[in-house]
Amino acid sequence: MSTTQTPYQILGEDGIRRLSEAFYDVMDEAHEAAGIRAMHACDLAPMKGKLADYLIEWMGGPPLYSGKTGSVCMTEPHEPFHIGPEERDQWLLCMDRALERIEANEDLKNMLKQPMFRVADAVRNREGPSIARDDPNIIAAG
């Protein structure tokens, strides 16, 4: 009888933290992710830690994120930002590339593909076109 490991068991806390680092490094470097990069402060270090804590819990590890925030709800923190299909897809692009960077195996990537899409799509709060550059809720990068 075989048992399926959780992503947390596969990557461990250190691997998930590397994934979070790689995710934001990709976001910072990829011109295709400029829309979502513009929603973040210049210093991505605090977000790297928050994403890591969230992913550790989401992937089956200890409740680090909810222990700090009281919730694992992702929609509320993203409400001020225009997140449509384009921004969702930029996020998924960064996650796909981050998984490549940490050399995640194909089984893990396939295991995460649909759940990651569901998380990214749940945060979507707009149907329309990409973010407006004059939106006061966008923190200018740079």
**Quick one: pLDDT at residue 4?**
87
pLDDT of residue 129: 66
Superfamily, domain 10-123: Globins (1.10.490.10)
What's the whole-number average pLDDT of the chain?
Answer: 89
Please tell me the predicted confidence (pLDDT) of residue 61.
97
List average pLDDT for each run of 10 residues in the chain, which is 142 residues long.
84 98 98 96 96 97 93 85 95 98 97 96 84 45 36
Domain residue ranges of the chain, discontinuous segments joined by +: 10-123
Per DSSP, the residues of 52-118 read HHHHHHHTTS--HHHHHHS----HHHHTTS---HHHHHHHHHHHHHHHHHTT--HHHHHHHHHHHHH
Contacts of 106 by beta carbon, 8 Å cutoff, 6+ apart: none
* Pair 67, 56: CB distance under 8 Å: no
